[in-house]
Amino acid sequence: MGIAAVSSHAVSKKHLTAVSIVQSASQTNIRAFFGAGPNLPCSMTATTTSECVSTVPSTSAESVPAKPVAVALDGKASLNGFLVKKCVTKAEVVWCLNTIATHGSFRSAAASAALFPIMFPTCDVAKKLQLGKDKVGYTICYGIAPYFRNRLLSKPHSVPHVVVAFDESLNKIAQKEQMDVLIRFWDPADDVVKTRYLTSCFLGHTRAEDLAAAFKKATENIKPQKYFNFRWMV
């Protein structure tokens, strides 16, 4: 299922109904975290002294009984659930980043993630990890990749000049001509020249017009005034 199928499913009636049900069930008013719950009897035991305030009888003639303070247990449970969910999302993203760094496959990443609940049975985050092969792929391709691409495209806007390098070769798997495009620029934050991969273009033909059109499409987010040099990689 590609990005078009995912986009179509996201606006379907069945999906929107399921999302509304989940949101209504998980949505909690912020007042619930701070509001006082029902009045509970307070006992002077070791387990409840930290949650209740015991009342000491006054020595005056007219003593006003103090009301015990109760903890909003439902609010705490909802807050803990929110924090665990946030930690689960962070763990899934970190594991996908590790898959990219180690050049692992989507299937191997999902198989390794399935072992976490067994290895860490007392960890709530490990129990709630849901990283199947398809989810790993969607997270990397449509979540992580666009984020880093946008960060990369923001770099040329903050530097005076950019060098664009490209190389054309035959992709033996796709059996198509592949043109890789890289950019080189001076990063003032680190005071070094950096070379970064930008994108790849797959060409059906290798005529000059096709190369020029693919090159313009690959660098459409970079202003032509920024170009300092074009280089054919060898």
Q: 97: which 2 tokens?
A: 């980043």
Q: Which residue has the higher pLDDT, 234 or 213?
A: 213
Q: What is the DSSP letter of 209?
A: H
| Domain shared by 143 and 168, yes or no | no
Q: Is residue 168 part of a domain?
A: yes
- Write out pLDDT tens, residues 27-76: 555 455 455 544 444 444 444 444 444 444 444 444 555 554 444 555 55
* Domain C-terminal end among 102, 121, 151: 151
DSSP labels for 113-172?
HTTHHHH-TT-HHHHH----HHHHHHHIIIIIHHHHHHHHHHSGGGSS-EEEEEEEEEET
Q: Which two tokens stand for residue 214?
A: 């693919």
Question: What is the C-alpha end-to-end distance of the chain, expressed in Å?
Answer: 37
Q: How many domains does the chain have?
A: 2
pTM: 0.56
Please give the helix or strand (H or E) that residue 25 lies within, else none.
Answer: helix 13-26
Cα distance between residue 37 and residue 77, in whole Å: 13
* Beta strand 192-203 pairing with 227-232: unpaired
Which pLDDT value is given to residue 60? 46
The domain boundary, picked from 102, 136, 151, lies at 151
pLDDT tens digits, residue range 159-194? 888 888 888 887 777 778 888 999 998 888 888 999
- Give the pLDDT band (50/70/90) at residue 111: very high
Output the pLDDT for position 50. 44
Q: Does pLDDT of 119 surpass 60?
A: yes
166: closest CA among 125, 204, 128, 213?
213
215 in Cβ contact with 222 (< 8 Å): no
10-24, 64-78, 127-141, range with greatest mean pLDDT: 127-141
Q: What is the mean pLDDT of residues 112-117?
A: 93
In angstroms, what CA-CA distances link 48 with 55, 65, 72?
Answer: 13, 19, 14
Same domain, yes or no: 83 and 136: yes
> Is 167 found in the same domain as 147?
no
**70, 54 Cβ separation under 8 angstroms:** no
- How far is 145 from 90, CA to CA, in rounded Å? 16
145: containing domain: 68-151
Find where tokens 């109760």 sit: 70
Report if residue 161 sits inside a domain: yes
List 230's β-bridge partners, or say none. Answer: 164
Q: Is 230's pLDDT higher than 70?
A: no
How large is the average pLDDT for residues 138-150? 92
143 and 160 fall within a common domain: no
135 and 96 in a common domain: yes
Q: Which of 116, 151, 186 is the last residue of a domain?
A: 151
**Are 164 and 112 within one domain?**
no
Q: Given a cut of 70, is residue 150 above it in pLDDT?
A: yes
**Pairwise pLDDT comparison (74 vs 155), residue with the higher score:** 155
